[in-house]
Amino acid sequence: MSSENHHLPDRIKLIWGISAVGSFIALLVLTGLIWLTYRYWDWPLWILSTFAAITIIEPIIEGSLIPYRYRFTRYQISAVAVEMQSGFIFKKRVAIPIARVQNVTLNAGPLLQWQKLTKVSIATASTNHGIEGLELDEAEALRDQIMRLAREARHDQA
Amino acid sequence: MTKPKRTHPLGLFLHIANSIKEYWFLFILVFTLYNQPIWFALCWAGIILAMIIWPATRWATLSYRVTPTAIEVNSGVFVRHHEHIPYSRIQTVQRKQWFFLAPFKLEELYIETASHDDNKPEARLAAVPTTLADTIDGYRLGATATETADSADTKETGNSADTDTAPIPATTPVTAHYRINNRTLLKFAFTSTGFIPLLLILLAIYNKIPRSWTDALIDDATHLALIALIGGAIAVVAIAWVGAFLWTYIRYFHFDVALQGDQLKTAKGLFQRNTITAPLTRIQAIRVKQNVFRQWLHIQTVQVLLASKAASKDDDDDLVILPAVPQSQLYDVAPPFVGWLPDHTPDLSDLNVADRRQWYLIRNALLIVIAPVALASFFLPHWMWAFALILVIAFFQGRFAAHQTGGGLITPRMLALQTGHMWTKETYYLPVNMIQSVRLNQSVWMKRTGLMHLIVNVRHGNKNQAIELRYLKSEQAQRVYDWYLQTV
């Protein structure tokens, strides 16, 4: 497996886009309910208008940040470690040696399954780290690599 | 094979005591319901069920068996549990002996492994003979010694030893031993910060005193009001502090630590003797801790971070191995117990927060308190001076944190990090193979000034301990990160 810096797969942008639409719909439903309380229980108008504003603004921000989120999220898998990097305003970088990994969980919701992607979460004895989306075969290769290393290092410490 | 054994009938009382501790609120409920006969009776039925019948069935259904390879614990009333714990998987064995159990040669036994399923120990045996723990200890020492030997060998030594007597007598010599002297213990208890939570509780009670009482008091002696106020404050602090002193003194009474083979064994306590055995190989990290009061008295505390909850009643849930060591002797006293500790005060100047970077930590400390302080002074203007004091404390806390921040590589495979949170200096010794992950954080503004936060994760109890060094220079933090990637 190569050890240079990877972006997440391209299709993740589509997924993020759909999930922004999803949060728009969820907020819309919520605002609808608030409208009912305004209409029938005389709740103050400002609650309704705040929710309406959030419903419009939140998906726009979420959607417009997708290119940045994509650009600044990277991962790197070498023979000894997994490294992840994310964020621009608050940049975070983490190194997880494969020898410390206790288990790898792949999980994919319907959207990710449809795009043949999967979320990867890597657990050490104390922390959890996640990659938002990887190609299915790449994720499986990572998992197998970690399993192989784990078998070699059976004299565990924890 | 021996038959599973019940615990001693006295264990029943411990179970009942435990239930009372958990369901004490039912008694309060009973008092509130005394004029409603039906509910009153129902509540009593609940009490009898929760405090007598349930513990009794729990006791009756709990049994254990010690085999040469593992300890088995059967428990449960409706759902039967069969716990099977191999000796080599045991993290800690904790023995708690209340003074009233001592004449019967009984004790409570807690056994824990590293699995982090839930926060309960894998096995809890109330009132078992003290010989049981010795037997288990014997098997454990055997298990670690013969771990590399073939399994046939282990079986043989096991078969001859199905009885209760220790099969492998604990002949492993004690290689290091330390017992606290009374003077150091007094100093230790004297400087306990446990009075702060106690103080908050007392203040909360004070707030509950009916307003009319205090008003009457002030009316009677308006000219004495200030004296009464200050006197009252001093009395409250004194009560909290004496409480914390006694609490610490009783818990750490006759503290004793010994290294036997590769097992570290600590014992402490006056009314309840609490003995914890943990293998050296399972230590995740070492922490040397010193609050600001202890800094003045030059005593330090040494703790080990373990992957078990056994020490959850100790400071910060970590097993204390040396509660109070004079600062000058620390690096003579500690290394015999944990071989990889340095034998002299290490140089921690490689990572630091010096010059104008101190300001960031001071600024952050001030930022945290400024909003609450502003709000409080707005609503209680005549208390403003007291709130101003909080700002001063925050300022010095920031400075303290900056001064204490330090770290560096002690050996090519061990990192030392030092932080100064909450007026407590903490020095961590972290072997590279126990560090779970390393993280760098940097905001855009920090990129311009060339700064980074370094976060090192180790396991502690059933959770993660993130050790964070804030506002390091980028190259300092990056150096640790690269070292970590190259050495693992």
Q: Are strands A6-7 and B319-326 parallel, antiparallel or unpaired?
A: unpaired
Query: Do residue B437 and residue A100 have CB atoms under 8 angstroms apart?
Result: yes
In this predicted complex, what is the ipTM? 0.83
* Cα–Cα distance, B97 to B106 (Å, whole number): 7
* Cα–Cα distance, A40 to A62 (Å, whole number): 32
Query: What is the predicted pLDDT for the residue at B127?
Result: 86
> What percent of chain B lies above the pLDDT cut of 70?
86
Query: What is the predicted pLDDT for the residue at B315?
Result: 62
Q: Output B65 or B315, whichever has higher pLDDT.
A: B65
Report CA B38 to chain centroid distance, whole Å. Answer: 45
Query: What is the predicted pLDDT for the residue at B155?
Result: 38
Give residues 96 to 135 of B whose Cβ lies within 8 Å of A. Answer: 114
Residue B329 DSSP code: G
Q: Are B91 and B307 contacting, i.e. CB atoms less than 8 angstroms apart?
A: yes
Put the strands of the sheet holding B463-473 in their side by side order. Answer: A6-7, A74-77, A81-86, A90-97, B435-443, B451-460, B463-473
Query: Do residue A126 and residue B465 have CB atoms under 8 angstroms apart?
Result: yes
Distance between first and last Cα of chain A: 28
Give residues 91 to 120 of A whose Cβ lies within 8 Å of B. Answer: 91-97, 99-100
Query: Would the pLDDT of B223 be above 70?
Result: no
**Which residues does chain A have with pLDDT short of 70?**
1-4, 150, 153-158
Interface check B433 vs A, CB under 8 A: yes
Mean pLDDT of B227-247: 85
What residues pair up with A83 in beta bridges, in sequence order? Answer: A76, A95
> What percent of chain B lies above the pLDDT cut of 90?
20
pLDDT tens column, B129-156: 888 888 888 888 776 554 444 333 333 3
Name the residue among A90, A94, A97 with its Cβ closest to that of B488.
A97
Query: Do residue B114 and residue A125 have CB atoms under 8 angstroms apart?
Result: yes
Band of pLDDT at residue B69, cut at 50, 70 and 90? confident
Put the strands of the sheet holding B70-75 in their side by side order. Answer: B5-6, B63-66, B70-75, B81-86
* Cα–Cα distance, A153 to B18 (Å, whole number): 42
Task: From residue B298, give the alpha-carbon distance in Å to each of B12, B192, B281, B358, B471.
Answer: 46, 14, 30, 25, 28
What residues pair up with B5 in beta bridges, in sequence order? Answer: B64
Query: What is the predicted pLDDT for the residue at B147?
Result: 45
B472 φ/ψ angles, rounded to the nearest 5 degrees: -85, 165
Mean pLDDT of B377-389: 80
Decide: helix, strand or coil at residue A107. Answer: strand
Closest residue on chain A to B459 (Cα): A126
Query: What is the predicted pLDDT for the residue at A2?
Result: 46
Q: Which of B116, B306, B436 best probes binding to A when mutated, by most A CB atoms within 10 angstroms?
A: B436
Query: Do residue B481 and residue A157 have CB atoms under 8 angstroms apart?
Result: no
Q: Look at chain B and count its residues.
A: 488
* Cα–Cα distance, B299 to B289 (Å, whole number): 9
Query: Do residue A157 and residue B463 have CB atoms under 8 angstroms apart?
Result: no
Mean pLDDT across chain B, nearest whole number? 82
Mean pLDDT of B217-243: 75
Neighbours of B436 (CB within 10 A): 24
* Cα–Cα distance, B363 to B398 (Å, whole number): 7
* Cα–Cα distance, B392 to B299 (Å, whole number): 26
Query: Do residue B485 and residue A97 have CB atoms under 8 angstroms apart?
Result: yes
Mean pLDDT of B292-312: 83
Selection from B471, B448, B442 nearest residue A93 by Cα: B442
Query: What is the predicted pLDDT for the residue at B246?
Result: 92
Name the residue among B282, B460, B485 with its Cβ closest to that of A95.
B485
Query: Would the pLDDT of B202 be above 50?
Result: yes
Query: What is the predicted pLDDT for the residue at B478?
Result: 94
Query: What is the predicted pLDDT for the residue at B431?
Result: 93
Mean pLDDT of B55-62: 87
pLDDT tens column, B74-131: 888 788 888 888 888 888 888 989 888 888 888 988 888 776 555 667 788 888 888 8
Query: Do residue A100 and residue B114 have CB atoms under 8 angstroms apart?
Result: no
Query: What is the predicted pLDDT for the residue at B312?
Result: 65
In chain A, DSSP assigns E strands to 6-7, 74-77, 81-86, 90-97, 101-107, 117-124, 128-135
- For chain B, the C-alpha Rg in angstroms (whole number) is 27
Task: From residue B266, give the alpha-carbon distance in Å to each of B80, B98, B175.
Answer: 34, 16, 14
Interface check A5 vs B, CB under 8 A: no
Closest residue on chain A to B113 (Cα): A158
Mean pLDDT of B273-301: 89
Query: Do residue A92 and residue B481 have CB atoms under 8 angstroms apart?
Result: no
Query: What is the predicted pLDDT for the residue at A21?
Result: 93
Query: Do residue A127 and residue B457 have CB atoms under 8 angstroms apart?
Result: yes
